[in-house]
Chain A
Amino acid sequence: MLSLLLLLIPLTFSIVIWFTKGMVSRAAALVGTIIQLAFTAYCYNVFLEAGNKPFEYIYQMAVKPNLVFHFSMDGISMLMVLLTNLLLPLIVLAGFSRYTDKANVFYSLMLLMQMALNGVFISFDAFGYYIFWELALIPIYFIAFIWGGQDRAAVTLKFFIYTLAGSLLMLFGFIYLYTYSPQNSLDWEVLRANPICSCEQGWIFWMLFAAFAIKIPIVPFHTWQPDTYKTAPTQGTMLLSGIMLKMGTYSLIRWLLPIVPDGFKEWQYVAITLSVIGVVYASVIAIMQRDIKKLLAYSSIAHVGLISAGVFTMSRVGLQGSLVQMFAHGVNVVGLFFCADIIMNRTGSNQVEGIGGIRKIAPRFAGWFLVIVLASVALPLTNGFVGEFMLLYSVYGYNTWLSLFAGLTIILGAVYMFRMYQKVVLGEPMLENMQFEDLKWNEQLVLGIIGILIFALGVYPEPIFELTEPVLKTLTP
């Protein structure tokens, strides 16, 4: 029952918010997300004490195809649910310092998105999972389309069709699995226990991989991403980069690895190579980006590339590292985009070049921004390092040369991040009469919480290990 409540709370608020107006909408959204966060905290406690029993919920359809809605919970799901419901209040709060047109629709869609994301993370049957997976696409499409910037029609269409094409392949894969798996079921546990013949796993792997690779995105399926991140309103970008992209990496661990283990092993080398190439490729591109949000978008591709490389090593350290890094990257990238948003709002420029001097006027903002930049370049004692260390080590365990190549990310990451920070924040102000108000209360709060998370997880990541270790034990030899 608890798992249904996880879905119902955001859904209820989503409906309620639709009928409110302006300032009330965003206040209601904040209340809703905070209630959801509190409930998630409660769930976390319950989960630690009682395991997945209180979350188990199965709804069997009466009609012929043997389809079920099966909600449950394990450590990985819990981690992702925590991430989602932790970030949502921050994302809502980030919008408090500015006016949003049609705020009721905006926040209603956002809460609907929250429900869909929760649904993706707690679904334990491919049917419900697929429905939520697609459901999550709808609100973000409208958010990007209605509140987006330049070229939004073309960009959102590209994004929509890209992901939809991937999802369609995934659907084929699931239908095939349903038809030809021994049990005629799409339940995760059943599928896991009765894997399909390993001769067919190869191409089912590719079907599912296509969907996940587009969502993550792994190079070369990434070209929708920079433009979408740039065009979408920043809160939408936060949702996309902070959480939605984790749907892909999460699904690698939840679906791809356990359901088609042989296919996974068969194509491991291709997937790792693609991921690692993506890491370096995106990092190199980020160096010369002129648009702040696009730079961050490419840096995000580099980071998630490393996460997926870690998953594809199929090693304990790789999976563990990828989980830590998913959480950390979610937190950091939301912070980064928030900072980018603050800069763009106050200066009116989205270019890396030509701003400068912010630190002189707004030192507090510059300080928090630097903290997040440091976490993003994986400085030890920040959350970024924990994951990156483990991921690089897992790649090392797979292949030494590949790890050298992937390791370039720590150099290139520093290059593009510090270049951006220097041009935007340091130096003398280059814009005429630049006004740059230092942080407002809501911005301070958001960045403060992100800062605390960065250091807390960087110094003591043990809670994540504790939460996820039992699951990983069952996933890896």
Chain B
Amino acid sequence: MEQFIQPINLIGPSLLVPLLPLLGFILLIFFGKQLKTLGPWIASLLVLGSFVLSVYIFSSLGNENNLDYDLFTWLRWGDVSLNFGILIDPLSLIMLLVVTGIGFLIHLYSIGYMHHDEGFVRFFAYLNLFIFFMLLLVMGNSYLVMFIGWEGVGLCSYLLIGFWFTNDAYNDAAKKAFIMNRIGDLGFLLGMFFMLFYLGGLDYATVLGNASTMEKGAPILIAITLLMFVGAMGKSAQIPLYTWLPDAMAGPTPVSALIHAATMVTAGIYMIVRSNILYSLAPFTLEIVMWVGVATSLFAAIIGIKQNDIKKVLAYSTVSQLGLMFAALGLGAYTSGMFHVVTHAFFKALLFLGAGSVIHAMGGEQDMRRMGGLWKYIRLTAITFLIGTLAISGIFPFAGFFSKDEILAAAFHHKIVWVLLSVSSMITAFYMFRLFFLTFFTTFRGTEEEKHHLHESPWTMTLPLAVLALFAIGAGFLGMPSVMHMPHWFNGFLAPVVETSKTILGESHHVDHSTEIMLMLVATALAISSIIFAYVVYLNRKSIPEQDEETKGFAKWVSNKFYIDELYDRVIVKPIMVLSDIFHVVVDKLIIDLFVNASAWMVGFTGRTLRLVQTGNTGFYIFVMVIAMMVLLLIQLVQ
């Protein structure tokens, strides 16, 4: 690794980036009562401040230079010391911009969306805390600091999913999210232990530096990468740890947009791209990552078809898109995966915020079967939503088209994967347009009261929608396919990060231009045919999804999410509960206390038996005394 000159002047600003939201959190938590009206604005402005600083750092750092700076020693023992430090490189810069940028927009949106809520200020405190931890996650210079953020965002996710804490179902969802994440975190933790033990440290420079001297496919590397991937499965909702994400929709919609679509759930992808050298050196893990990604992508997409809750559809589509990203990583196309993270952040945040605007207009109703015909009432929301839908479906020239195309192109040499991913994106286009048509077209199916209530959202909500819509259109041009003979800015910017991996993985399967065009056409054709199909079913025939009770056969399985939750409940949760009772009642109270009580009983028994000797008869005592003396005398005599 070449030595970079530390841009010392950037240390201050880069520290301020996470500290501003932390300050916001502290202010809002302790002075929430005094800051009832001002608080949310302060919170939003602080995040805006972070964003401005990030842009400043971005513009002055560029991609040739890194900022790697240890602040203080956090943990140490013997000769090991683990530092708390920050690293700003192209990868963290991109995440910084996404997190603070989208974070700010969602803060702004929440001012409108959460206005009537009692916990208005508290909500912003949590959001600020989330931004802080997310920034730590992407700015850390070691896996340990990443882990702080990793667990921290899990906490915020817990707090925000269970934001309406009087509802116990929401609390359950929050708890489930935290615990599932914790399962992943255990993997992460063990992965760190392996690194510390075999690679001599936890900071990226040491770990990646030492790893690159190891042989490709070394068992240690496979163990590390697999364990870290378990962490990613938890955080980024991959099979088998994905079930928390749909439940997480219990949180307020801006939360779903920020945490469960745009930023937190992509942490797993960030982590793998960050450790791309490790993964490239462990081809076996890459294979697994790819297959898990493909399976998740397809599985979640299928479930998405049958969901009727507008946010649940988006949730499953997020799981599916995350699967797509992991598939890209598994194929070694790190930058493509990262590119999709960015575009997805824009259009999925847009979709969620749009859904929030719809829910806002509907007065809290989330069931699509009771919507319809909203186009004319909330025009701006509908238009931006359409842009988002087109983007996720991968229609040219929206952002999703470029990133998805890149992933499909990377998958092309692996025919089965390519087919599966294409099917998955085709299904995605279908259920997204199903969502769009059911919500915005045909006639209104809600109550009169709701109809009366319909209104467009305030500017604080529509402005973020408009901005995100612009990005959902334009972000794709950051990474033009080579066939268009334009510079792929995104890949160029990230090149230093994945440089080493490129050499490790060797020849990348470059598709030639004609194939690429063919792929694009196929993908677009599939998407458009799905859209047409959705159009026919939901607009021409005006069919409305049946009530839950009426579904049967395979459809019932799908709409019940293949009963995975029930399966987990039976196989894991219930047995642990039973085990807990068994341990307590049988092992503790019966077996262990049996020994304890048996020894007490022995003492008691001895006492009870010896008690009989005490007859209370003085004559008997004297008699015993005399006999004993004679016995002693006899013994004396015999000797």
Contact = CB atoms under 8 A, between A and B. Distances in A.
Interface of A: 158, 161-162, 220, 222-224, 281, 284-289, 316-317, 320-321, 357, 359-360, 367, 374, 379-381, 385-386, 389-390, 392-393, 396-397, 403-404, 407-408, 410-411, 414-415, 418-419, 422, 426-428, 459-462, 465, 472
B580 A380 contact: no
B349 interface: no
A404 B189 CA distance: 10
6 contacts: A285-B580, A317-B78, A320-B77, A380-B151, A397-B197, A418-B175
A374 B219 CA distance: 35
- Chain A to chain B: the 4 pairs with minimum beta-carbon distance, closest first: A288-B580, A380-B148, A316-B78, A320-B77
Contact of A392 (B29, B147, B193, B583): B193
Contacts of A320: 77-78
Interface string B547-574: 0000000000000000000000000000
Contact of B166 (A224, A381, A426): A426
Interface residues of B, number: 48
Contacts of A285: 580, 583-584, 588
Given A397-B197, A411-B186, A427-B171, A390 B77 contact: yes
Contacts of B162: 422, 426
B189 A410 contact: yes
B201 interface: no
B451 interface: no
Contacts of A411: 179, 182-183, 186
Contacts of A380: 147-148, 151-152
- Scoring A407, A414, A460 by chain B CB atoms within 10 A of each residue's CB, the highest score goes to A414
Contacts of B577: 287-288
Contacts of B593: 223
Contact of B77 (A316, A385, A419, A426): A316
A297 to B, nearest CB: 11
A289 B584 CA distance: 8
Contacts of B197: 396-397
Given A285-B584, A316-B77, A461-B75, A403 B190 contact: yes
A407 B189 contact: yes
B18 to A, nearest CB: 12
A407 B184 CA distance: 11
B607 to A, nearest CB: 14
B622 to A, nearest CB: 36
Contacts of A321: 77
Contacts of B171: 422, 426-427
A371 B392 CA distance: 40
Interface of B: 29, 72-78, 80, 147-148, 151-152, 155, 158, 162, 165-168, 171-172, 175, 178-179, 182-183, 185-186, 189-190, 193, 196-197, 576-577, 579-581, 583-584, 587-589, 592-593, 596, 600
B165 A426 contact: yes
Contacts of B596: 158, 162, 223-224
Contacts of A415: 179, 576
Contacts, number: 122
B528 to A, nearest CB: 45
B166 A390 contact: no
Contacts of A403: 190, 193
Contacts of A461: 74-75
Contacts of B581: 288
Given A285-B588, A410-B185, A426-B165, 20 more contacts: A158-B596, A223-B589, A289-B584, A317-B77, A317-B78, A367-B29, A379-B155, A380-B152, A385-B151, A389-B75, A392-B193, A393-B193, A403-B190, A403-B193, A410-B186, A422-B172, A427-B166, A427-B168, A427-B171, A465-B77
B605 to A, nearest CB: 16
Nearest to A324: B75
Contact of A410 (B172, B182, B193, B579): B182
Contacts of A390: 75, 77
A414 B178 contact: yes
A389 B82 CA distance: 12
Nearest to B578: A288
A384 to B, nearest CB: 11
A410 B150 CA distance: 14
Nearest to A280: B583
A385 B576 CA distance: 25
B179 A281 contact: no
Contacts of B185: 410
Contacts of B196: 393
Given A158-B596, A418-B175, A427-B165, A288 B152 contact: no
Nearest to A359: B165
A380 B154 CA distance: 11
B576 A374 contact: no
Contact of A465 (B76, B152, B178): B76
Contacts of A386: 74-75
Contacts of A281: 583, 587
A53 B592 CA distance: 47
Contact of A426 (B148, B168, B589): B168
Contacts of B72: 460, 462
A380 B192 CA distance: 14
Contacts of A459: 74
A288 B582 CA distance: 10
A429 to B, nearest CB: 9
- Scoring B196, B579, B584 by chain A CB atoms within 10 A of each residue's CB, the highest score goes to B584
A393 B167 CA distance: 39
- Scoring B77, B151, B589 by chain A CB atoms within 10 A of each residue's CB, the highest score goes to B77
Nearest to A460: B72
A214 to B, nearest CB: 11
A426 B584 CA distance: 26
B577 to A, nearest CB: 6
A287 B580 contact: yes
A381 B151 CA distance: 10
Given A397-B197, A411-B179, A428-B166, A462 B77 contact: no
B583 A284 contact: yes
A368 B158 CA distance: 16
Contacts of A317: 77-78, 80
B600 to A, nearest CB: 8
Contacts of A408: 186
A359 B190 CA distance: 35
Given A403-B193, A426-B162, A428-B166, A288 B76 contact: no
B75 A284 contact: no
A390 B185 CA distance: 16
A374 B155 contact: yes
B580 A360 contact: no
Contacts of A407: 186, 189-190
A422 B600 CA distance: 40
Contacts of B576: 284, 287, 415
Contact of B179 (A289, A389, A414): A414
Contacts of A223: 588-589, 592-593, 596
B166 A357 contact: yes
Given A287-B576, A379-B152, A427-B168, A414 B182 contact: yes
B188 to A, nearest CB: 10
Nearest to B580: A288
Contacts of A316: 77-78
B152 A381 contact: yes
